[in-house]
Structure 1
Amino acid sequence: MIDETVLLESRTLRTSVLERTHVLDKVKTLSLLPDGLHVTTAMVAAYYEVGIKAIRSLVLDHREELETSGYRVLTGTELSSFKELSYIQSQAPSLAVFPRRAILNVGMLLRDSEVARQVRTYLLDAEYEVRTRPVDNLVHRAGWDELDERVDGRITDVLGKTVVPMLNALIETSGEQSRELLSLREDVQQIQIKLIEHDIQLSRLQRGQDVKALTGVIGTIDAMNWREFEEHVAQLLRRDGCTNVELHGGHGGDRGVDISARTADGRTVAVQCKNFAPFRHVLSGEMQKFLGASKVIHEADVALYVATCAFTRESLALAAQGGVTAVHRGLLEAWSAGVKLQVLRSS
């Protein structure tokens, strides 16, 4: 096993594991700003249980590397927009923010922190597991993937529709051989499971859903900033026949609504857009605010809360009670891929 201190010395190694930000949550709870994506310098210091000066000194020594990981200093209009989004009251002319990758990068550079040491240990444990995991040659064999998928599908179909039912019938009528037949059926079912898992792996490879890179519809959405995300949702509304589609410029937009529109049959539409991190949830308080804005202030016929993450059970209950359509991550992906939202269909 590699000693965790090597991360302190090797930028190449640090870069190779930057995507494993889930390690942060394994060590201790990481509190994020309300945008669900960033933390301040003080929050980084609190996470690693060191002084703010230690983080500022580290940034001074490794600024270029940390900027590559997403560290930024906000000023001007960008800072104003960010303050509005994150409910920050500071009057300072600039604000340093760290996304999860940069927070992890800090942990790989910070020497005098027990939390950082634990982060490095977890990272190298995960790296060791990946490097020593056996490779499934059937999955990676060039030129055979499509053939394997067809064969797997046919075998799975035969096992499920013919072999297992036949074994069930034999078990019911057998006497002494029932134990052997039960064991055989269990073996067959295990083969089915393996074939299904293999099929899933092949499908992921064909769709390019590799853990090293986000691709496809939802990956494209995850890469958008909030302005791009709102424009994306506006385009989906136009695609599905909505008219008078208007973006109101920023989070909160026009009194709590980011986009307004009309359906093809004339109903008014109010939309809230949140491009939160995938691991976040829309909370009940956030849903309550939009409920008041869309239904009370705007008196919208159709209210859409579109988010790149999931919703809590409480927020979904509020949405159902108030007539808000909660467009969660999975539904957003389907909508973006061409499926029309039921609520937008002409009545």
Structure 2
Amino acid sequence: MAGRRVKSVINEVALVESQALRQSFTERTEALDRVKTLSLLPNGMHVTTAMVAAYFEVAETVVNNLLSRHREELESNGLRVIRGAELQEFKELILSSYPESYPQPRSSMALWTRRTVLNVAMLLRDSKVARRVRTYLLDVEHSSRAHSLTVDAPQPANDVESLDAHITRLSEESFTRLLGTTVVPILNALIETSSEQQRELISLRENVQQIEQRLVRHDIQLRRLQLAQEQRPLTGVMASIDAMNWREFEQHIAGLLRRDDCTGIEVHGGSGDRGADITGYTADGRRLVVQCKNFAPYRSVWSGEMQKFVGTKTLHRADVAVYVATCPFSREALDIAMQVGVTAVHRGLLDAWSGGAKLQVLK
């Protein structure tokens, strides 16, 4: 509990007050889905003001007021307000099929990107959801900073005990440096300027080292997991798939589709066709769209990535949508896939498909 309060007193204040600091976090949009599923419009790219308010569990007027105060910053991160012919076209292409779900705006409409929603999370003071997003961002920043401080260290010995000792020593040195140059000076400044909370801040300062030690243990465990994954011998079909680059992986999936009697298979080679990696038709003539991701096996496909593909499925008016990944899918991503009719091909199913089995959706 004390560790959580330290981050609240120090880091959240900095995020809310410093635009430069907020800007350094704008690419970490995965934080939104780690805290709560962010629903997107059917195009898979935008969110309305009402949807932003619903995500953060605040009134829509709160979001509008924040937009007025920080419009320049939000627009620099992708916020757009559309009007006139552009608004009419957006309503016809995106909203017309869902009139009850998405109220039709009259004269203008704010379109929020995931980056701008994350920007809101770093500005809203009184939203519990926003605080949870900030906490996630700051946890990741702590871990990343610790890792970056050790990345150029000399390689450890081969035996496990030497590896553990080496990682532990490097991590302790890194966090000692972090403690002395960043955390403690900030706490000292707060103690000097605060009268009402001085005693509490002094107590929190004494707990900082314990917090950092917990993060050290987390970093060591993560390193062990990654090392074990790297050292595990690869065998069978998945070994060859893991060795592929993204182009080779897309061609492999295209080959499986052709093997299973799909026709008109086109691989879009990274440029994409409105977000699709592969398009074509099933043996019985249904329109097919496929997303391919050759992620590391210990990664997961998150709900935001699945939601984006849902938008691609809608744009292509696909009858069959397949999301193929060399890793697992998060529970939230699988829930979304089931709701909208996307076939999620995880690592195990990919192994079977590559080995000769046929996907049920292609039969």
Q: Which has the larger radius of gyration?
A: 1
Q: Please give the TM-score of this superposition, normalised by the length of structure 1.
A: 0.47
Higher relative contact order (CA 8 A, sep 6+): 2
